Amino acid sequence: MSAELIDGKKIALDIEFELIEKISKMDSKPSLSVIQVGEDPASTSYIRAKSKAAERVGINLTHHHLPESTTKSELSSLVNKLNESEDGIIIQLPLPEGLDSVLNEINPEKDVDGFHPFNLGKLVQGEPGLRPCTPAGVVELLYRSGNDPSGKHVVVVGRSTIVGKPLSLLLSQKGVDATVTLCHSRTPNLESFTGDADIVVVAVGWPDTVSANMLKSGVVVIDVGVNRTDSGLVGDVSSDVKEVASQLTPVPGGVGPMTVAMLMSNTVDSALKK
Ligand code: NDP
């Protein structure tokens, strides 16, 4: 078997077209502010991708690039100012030490990254709210590639607050109805869980965490990982996974573009609620 690749880039473009349609009916363009503190090169390249997507769909994105020496009160006063004017605000992670608590000062209604405790609480309660972009992108990718998770056993590998944990909650919500197993670095015999899954989502940050011998034939594999190696960008699953999987996301070109598309979607939703 050679897995069909799930084209995240194309699916993200489909979502962008839907957003262009929605924005064309709005009185003014949605506004999104992205705050970057310091010079992390990965952050700079992620912000570039977000800026290009915003330009394509018609969102006014402003990049606030602050020096590494920015104090908590300086960052806090910028966030409070933007809370008054913007539809969406994100603070690009990682932040220099001591600034993380400012994340919670973003107005939850404008927290288009979906990381605010208020929005995470809404997710736990199954109430409407802004959802974290990567987990929301994975769920959207599943539906749009013909993989309704309802009734499926989905194994999520990785329990971070920005990917694995919220994804397990989204997938197990009423209406989505997957049966979810959440694995992590302390899970013994990882292969006993992944080998039973209909869908495996890997968000670990380490190449070759899941290989073909840990999977059943026909499984759908979503590879969230982004690892920079000497041979370029690779995901968290081994290249032999395509021999057993029925469908697989490529890295790059799988989950990454979906994360950006969901950020655009959250910004439009936030603007529509104004
Ligand atoms: P974190 O480092 O925050 O979390 C990694 C998780 O993986 C932890 O829960 C850890 O377990 C678990 N883990 C580590 N080693 C193993 C192992 N051998 N077996 C099972 N579980 C393991 O990472 P993130 O969630 O932030 O990111 C994960 C990956 O996804 C990274 O490559 C990141 O770059 C990528 N990413 C991609 C995005 C995209 O848009 N494409 C967006 C966000 C992230 P424990 O909790 O026990 O330590």
DSSP 24-80: HTSSS--EEEEEEES--HHHHHHHHHHHHHHHHHT-EEEEEEE-TT--HHHHHHHHH
- Phi, psi dihedral angles at 202 (to 5 degrees): -115, 120
Instruction: Tell me, yes or no, if 50 is annotated catalytic.
Output: yes
Instruction: Tell me, yes or no, if 148 is annotated catalytic.
Output: no
Instruction: Tell me, yes or no, if 242 is annotated catalytic.
Output: no
For ligand 1, the distance from its centroid to the CA atom of residue 161, given in whole angstroms, is: 10
| pLDDT by 10s per residue, the chain, length 274 | 799 999 999 999 999 999 999 999 999 999 999 999 999 999 999 999 999 999 999 999 999 999 999 999 999 999 999 999 999 999 999 999 999 999 999 999 999 999 999 999 999 999 999 999 999 999 999 999 999 999 999 999 999 999 999 999 999 999 999 999 999 999 999 999 999 999 999 999 999 999 999 999 999 999 999 999 998 999 999 999 999 999 999 999 999 999 999 999 999 999 999 8
Residue 74 to residue 80: CA distance in whole angstroms: 10
Atom of ligand 1 nearest to the CA of 259: 40
Q: Which two tokens stand for residue 242?
A: 């395509």
CB of 204 shorter than 6 A to ligand 1: yes
Whole-number pLDDT of residue 61: 98
Catalytic residue among 92, 110, 198, 247: 92
Sheet of 60-66: strand order equals 60-66, 31-37, 88-91
Whole-number pLDDT of residue 1: 73
Which residue is closest in CA terms to ligand 1's atom 8?
158
Residue 92 to residue 16: CA distance in whole angstroms: 21
Question: Under 8 Å CB-to-CB from 267, ≥6 apart: which residues?
Answer: 30, 32, 54, 59, 87, 88, 112
CB of 59 shorter than 6 A to ligand 1: no
For ligand 1, the distance from its centroid to the CA atom of residue 203, given in whole angstroms, is: 4
CB of 30 shorter than 6 A to ligand 1: no
DSSP strand pairing (227-229 vs 232-234) = antiparallel
Whole-number pLDDT of residue 274: 84
Which residue is closest in CA terms to ligand 1's atom 3?
160
CB of 224 shorter than 6 A to ligand 1: yes
CB of 228 shorter than 6 A to ligand 1: no
Whole-number pLDDT of residue 189: 98
For ligand 1, the distance from its centroid to the CA atom of residue 204, given in whole angstroms, is: 3
Residue 200 to residue 194: CA distance in whole angstroms: 7
Whole-number pLDDT of residue 4: 98
Q: Which of 11, 226, 227 to mutate to test the pocket of ligand 1 (most atoms within 8 A of CB)?
A: 226
Residue 80 to residue 218: CA distance in whole angstroms: 50
Q: Which of 199, 191, 197, 193 is nearest to 223 (CA)?
A: 199
CB of 227 shorter than 6 A to ligand 1: yes
CB of 210 shorter than 6 A to ligand 1: no
Cβ(182)–Cβ(164) below 8 Å: yes
Residue 224 to residue 221: CA distance in whole angstroms: 10
Whole-number pLDDT of residue 6: 98
Whole-number pLDDT of residue 136: 98
